[in-house]
C-alpha cells in the first residue's frame, strides 16, 4: 500500500492521494489499526504528518479541497481521527488532538442537517454545484451516525447519542429496512426521498452496523440496539459473504463484472475493520463474525500473489490474483489481515475517556468554521443561470473584441 503513497516525498502533499482526497483518511485509519494490532511503528510519522496537514481548522475542511469535497469525504477523516483516539494513537505535540478532530467533523456536519427536505438527513454533497447535491445517501448518514455513536461512547456526552438516535430514526424511515435489514444506497429530493436506490454496497451496511454496535455498548447492552446489531450483522454477512463467493467478503455489484472503481475497491476492507470492532464491543457477535473474517483473509492471501511480490487484486473470492494492482487493493488487504489479529488482543480494543483514553476533548471544535454550511450555498436558480449566461456572453465579447484590437490595431 505505501509503495503507492507519495505524500511523504519531497514536493508532494502530506495526506493527499492523487485524484482523490477522502482515500487519505481511509488509508490512515487502516494504518492506525495496523499499528495497534502489530506494534509496527514504521509508518507512524506518515500518519501523524498527513492527519495534521489535512486537518484544516481542526475539522477536516482544508481550504485547498473544501470547495469540492462531500460530506462522506470529510466524515472518513473524522472516523480516522476517532479511531486514533480510541486506540490511544500517539498525540502530536502542538497539533490538534485526535478526539477534537473527530468532534470538529461532527460539529460542522450536524450544522448541515437538512430538515427542510425529506424531514431531515444529510445530503451527499456539501455544495449545490456538485453532482449528488440533491441526493441523501447511506454512507453520509450512516457515517455520521457511526461517528456520533462513537463520540457518545468515548465522551459519555448525551449530545452525541441524541444525534445518533436522530440520524438512525431518519435513516430507518428512508434507507435502512428494519424488516429485512437491507440498506439502500441513496434517495433523491426529486421525489421527496420516496424511491430508494437499492444498489447494494458493503460499506453502507457496515457504517450502520458499527454505529448500532457502539450504541449497544454505550447503552450497556440495551435490547433496543441488540436487534439492529444482529439484523445488520446477519444481513451484511449473508449479502456480501455468501457461499456464492466462497464465504468471502465481496462487493458483487462491481466485482462480478470486473468494473470496480478505486472507491469501490476499498469498501469491503472498511467493512472488515468495522466487523472486527463490532465483534469486540458486542461480544455476542464474535462467533458469528470472526469465521467470515478468517475465511476472507485466507482467500485474500491466496489472491495476493501477483508479480511474485504479494501484489493483491480486487476479487479475493476467486483465491488467485486477478491482475489488478493498486493502493486501494492493498488497503483492503491490509484491513482484512489486521482484522484477523483481533483474537490475539481481544481483551483490549477501543477505549473511552474513562477506560484509558487520553485524547483531549474540545466539544466546541469546528463551531467557528462556517465553510460548507449548506445555507451559505443555496441551490442555483434559473435566474442565476440566466445571469451567469449574460455575464459569460459579455466576458466572451470582451475577449473577442480584445483579440480583434490586437490583430487589427483598430
Q: What is the CATH number for 30?
A: 1.50.10.20
On whether both 242 and 375 belong to a single domain, the answer is yes
Same domain as 395, residue 368: no
Do 300 and 395 lie in one domain? The reply is no
Residues 357 and 82: their CA atoms lie apart, in Å, by: 11
**pLDDT on residue 373:** 65
What's the grid cell of residue 87?
486506540
Dihedral sign of CA atoms 236, 239, 243, 249 in order: negative
Query: Does one domain contain both 391 and 246?
Result: no
Structural domains of the chain, count:
2
Q: Are residues 354 and 392 in the same domain?
A: no
125 and 160 both lie in a single domain: yes
Q: Domain limits at 387?
A: 382-410
The per-residue pLDDT for 345 is 85
Within 13 Å and on the Cβ side, how many CA atoms surround 137? 22
326 in the same domain as 389? no
pLDDT value of residue 355: 96
> How far apart are the two ends of the chain, measured CA to CA in Å?
61
Q: What is the pLDDT of residue 58?
A: 98
The SS3 of residue 381 is coil
73 and 112 fall within a common domain: yes
CB 193 within 8 A of CB 114: no
Q: Which three cell numbers stand for residue 286?
A: 464474535
Q: Do 370 and 402 belong to one domain?
A: no
C-alpha cell at 348: 483490549
State whether 389 and 282 are in the same domain.
no
The pLDDT profile of the chain, 410 residues, written as one tens digit per residue, is 999 999 999 999 999 999 999 999 999 999 999 999 999 999 999 999 999 999 999 999 999 998 999 999 999 999 999 999 999 999 999 999 999 999 999 999 999 999 999 999 999 999 999 999 999 999 999 999 999 999 999 999 999 999 999 999 999 999 999 999 999 999 999 999 999 999 999 999 999 999 999 999 999 999 999 999 999 999 999 999 999 999 999 999 999 999 999 999 999 999 999 999 999 999 999 999 999 999 999 999 999 999 999 899 999 999 999 999 999 999 999 999 999 999 998 777 899 999 999 999 999 999 987 776 654 433 433 433 444 444 444 444 444 444 344 444 44
Please state, in angstroms and rounded to a whole number, the distance separating the CA atoms of residues 264 and 242: 19
Grid coordinates representing 226 are 441488540
Phi-psi region for residue 157, left (φ > 0), alpha (ψ -120 to 50) or beta? beta
Residue for cell digits 473474517?
293
Same domain, 94 and 209: yes
88 exposure class (CB count in 10 Å sphere: 0-12, 13-18, 19+): middle
Please check whether residues 370 and 392 belong to one and the same domain: no
Amino acid at each position: 500500500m505505501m509503495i503507492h503513497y507519495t505524500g511523504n516525498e519531497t514536493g508532494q502533499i502530506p495526506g493527499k492521494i492523487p485524484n482523490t482526497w477522502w482515500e487519505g483518511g481511509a488509508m490512515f485509519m487502516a494504518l492506525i489499526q495496523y499499528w495497534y494490532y502489530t506494534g509496527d511503528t514504521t509508518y507512524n510519522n506518515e500518519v501523524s504528518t498527513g492527519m495534521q496537514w489535512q486537518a484544516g481548522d481542526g475539522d477536516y475542511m482544508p481550504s485547498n479541497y473544501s470547495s469540492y469535497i462531500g460530506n462522506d469525504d470529510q466524515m472518513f477523516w473524522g472516523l480516522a481521527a476517532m479511531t486514533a483516539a480510541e486506540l490511544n494513537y500517539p498525540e502530536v505535540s502542538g497539533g490538534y488532538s485526535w478526539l477534537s478532530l473527530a468532534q470538529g467533523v461532527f460539529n460542522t456536519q450536524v450544522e448541515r442537517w437538512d430538515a427542510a427536505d425529506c424531514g431531515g438527513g444529510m445530503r451527499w454533497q456539501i455544495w449545490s454545484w456538485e453532482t449528488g447535491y440533491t441526493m441523501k445517501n447511506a454512507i453520509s448518514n450512516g457515517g455520521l451516525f457511526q461517528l456520533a455513536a462513537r463520540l457518545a461512547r468515548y465522551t459519555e456526552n448525551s449530545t452525541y447519542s441524541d444525534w445518533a438516535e436522530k440520524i438512525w430514526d431518519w435513516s430507518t424511515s428512508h434507507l435502512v429496512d428494519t424488516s429485512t435489514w437491507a440498506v439502500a444506497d441513496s434517495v433523491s429530493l426529486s421525489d421527496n426521498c420516496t424511491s430508494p436506490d437499492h444498489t447494494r454496497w458493503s460499506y453502507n451496511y457496515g457504517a450502520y452496523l458499527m454505529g448500532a454496535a457502539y450504541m449497544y455498548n454505550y447503552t450497556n447492552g440495551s435490547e433496543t440496539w441488540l436487534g439492529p446489531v444482529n439484523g445488520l450483522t446477519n444481513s451484511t454477512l449473508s449479502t456480501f459473504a455468501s457461499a456464492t463467493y466462497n464465504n468471502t467478503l465481496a462487493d458483487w455489484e462491481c466485482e462480478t463484472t470486473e468494473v470496480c472503481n478505486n472507491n469501490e475497491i476499498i469498501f469491503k476492507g472498511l467493512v472488515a475493520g468495522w466487523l472486527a470492532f463490532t465483534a469486540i464491543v458486542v461480544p455476542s457477535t464474535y462467533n458469528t463474525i470472526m469465521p467470515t473474517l478468517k475465511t476472507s483473509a485466507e482467500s485474500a492471501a491466496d489472491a495476493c500473489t501477483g508479480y511474485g511480490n504479494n501484489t493483491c487484486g480486487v476479487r479475493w473470492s476467486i483465491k488467485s490474483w486477478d491482475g489488478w494492482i493498486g493502493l486501494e487493493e492493498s488497503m483492503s488487504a491490509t484491513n482484512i489481515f489486521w482484522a484477523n489479529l483481533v483474537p490475539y488482543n481481544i481483551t483490549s480494543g477501543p477505549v473511552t475517556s474513562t477506560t484509558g483514553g487520553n485524547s483531549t476533548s474540545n466539544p466546541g471544535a469546528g463551531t467557528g468554521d462556517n465553510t460548507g454550511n449548506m445555507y451559505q450555498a443555496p441551490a442555483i436558480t434559473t435566474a442565476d443561470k440566466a445571469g451567469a449566461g449574460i455575464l459569460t456572453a459579455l466576458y466572451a465579447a470582451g475577449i473577442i473584441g480584445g483579440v480583434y484590437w490586437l490583430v487589427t490595431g483598430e
